[in-house]
Amino acid sequence: MRTPLIAGNWKLHKTVPEALELVKALKNQVAEVKDVEIVVGPAFTALYPVTEAIRGSNIAVAAQNCYPENTGAYTGEVSPLMLKDAGCKYVIIGHSERRQIFKESDEFINAKIKAALGEDLHVIFCIGETLEEREAEKTWDILKTQLQNGLDGITREDLKKIVVAYEPVWAIGTGKTATGDQAQEAHAYIRGQLKEIFGQQSAEDMRILYGGSVKPDNVDGLMSRSDIDGTLVGGASLKAADFARIVKFQAG
Ligand code: PEP
């Protein structure tokens, strides 16, 4: 059985006081939730205060990015060692906004994943096709390449600390969610590829999240699908009540 994981990506939102207000409200609203792993992803400046605020609760913290070195002359960067030190359990790597805006390559993403695992962080590894790629019927090739390159050199043991997030780029922040059928089809494909690389058991154990305009009113349908093990949520994670409702999804 795969434990569902509901993660929020706060992106470039929330000052420290705002982040604390949000996480404290969320903490109250999800206090009774069991059997779902809950993760929030504040900006770097709010990581430490948020990890302090959730101490002892059922919420864990993710950073939204990291650099693949622990120390050195890399002005402006933040390392896996620093994230661990700030109290993070997870780090989001390979988000499409980083791939597109900051031109991150599969190789760079792979280096970050390895560096994060080296500090015992868990990784939410994002993959997904753009609208042009989907329309050109390249979705499966793109997902296969991103998986193979991003997970190059990763062992089955490492894999236990990695969660894949399938985020079709055309569904992120657009209000356009993949249908349950589209998402399930992609998740089943991803699990099939993981099986090719890591074998049946590892693929079955692996959690695959869906991300892309997940909201309180569409989460139940998505979470009812057999290969969807959780969600990565952007916009709707910025309101405690909406995110709490997503955490409390009802899978049919
Ligand atoms: C995301 O940023 O990973 C995301 C899925 O955003 P949204 O839910 O706003 O589409």
Place of tokens 């290969």: 227
Please report, for the chain, how many H helices and E strands are present, in that order: 12, 8
- Report the catalytic residues: 95, 167
Domain-wise residue ranges, the chain: 5-247
| Contact status, residue 169 vs residue 209, Cβ threshold 8 Å | no
Ligand 1 atom at minimum distance from 95 CA: 3
d(CA 83, CA 100) in angstroms, rounded, equals 23
Ligand 1 atom at minimum distance from 167 CA: 5
d(CA 197, CA 150) in angstroms, rounded, equals 12
d(CA 8, CA 237) in angstroms, rounded, equals 5
Q: What is the pLDDT of residue 252?
A: 77
Report the sign of the C-alpha dihedral through residues 78, 80, 81, 84, in that order: positive
User: From atom 3 of ligand 1, which residue's Cα is the shortest distance away?
Assistant: 234
CATH architecture under which domain 5-247 falls:
Alpha-Beta Barrel (3.20)
Q: What is the pLDDT of residue 176?
A: 86
Determine whether the shortest distance from the Cβ of 206 to ligand 1 is under 6 A. Answer: no
d(CA 98, CA 163) in angstroms, rounded, equals 18
Determine whether the shortest distance from the Cβ of 214 to ligand 1 is under 6 A. Answer: yes
Supply 84's token pair. Answer: 């661990």
Q: What is the pLDDT of residue 1?
A: 86
Averaged in consecutive runs of 10 residues, what is the pLDDT profile of the chain (252 residues)?
A: 97 98 98 97 98 98 98 98 98 98 98 98 98 95 98 97 97 89 97 98 98 97 97 98 98 84
d(CA 36, CA 248) in angstroms, rounded, equals 8
Q: Centre a 10 Å sphere on the Cβ of residue 235 and count the other Cβ atoms it contains.
A: 18
Q: What is the pLDDT of residue 160?
A: 97
Supply 92's token pair. Answer: 């989001």
Residue closest to 124 by CA, chosen among 6, 250, 242: 6
Q: How distant is the alpha carbon of residue 50 from its chain centre?
A: 18
User: From atom 7 of ligand 1, which residue's Cα is the shortest distance away?
Assistant: 234
Determine whether the shortest distance from the Cβ of 211 to ligand 1 is under 6 A. Answer: yes
Q: Centre a 10 Å sphere on the Cβ of residue 120 and count the other Cβ atoms it contains.
A: 10
| Contact status, residue 161 vs residue 123, Cβ threshold 8 Å | yes
Determine whether the shortest distance from the Cβ of 212 to ligand 1 is under 6 A. Answer: yes
User: From atom 4 of ligand 1, which residue's Cα is the shortest distance away?
Assistant: 234
Ligand 1 atom at minimum distance from 233 CA: 8
Determine whether the shortest distance from the Cβ of 128 to ligand 1 is under 6 A. Answer: no
* Residue 203 Cα to ligand 1 middle (Å): 25
CA distances from 191 to 197, 214, 229, 230 (A): 10, 21, 11, 14
Determine whether the shortest distance from the Cβ of 164 to ligand 1 is under 6 A. Answer: no
Q: What is the pLDDT of residue 173?
A: 86
Supply 239's token pair. Answer: 């309101």
Q: What is the pLDDT of residue 220?
A: 97
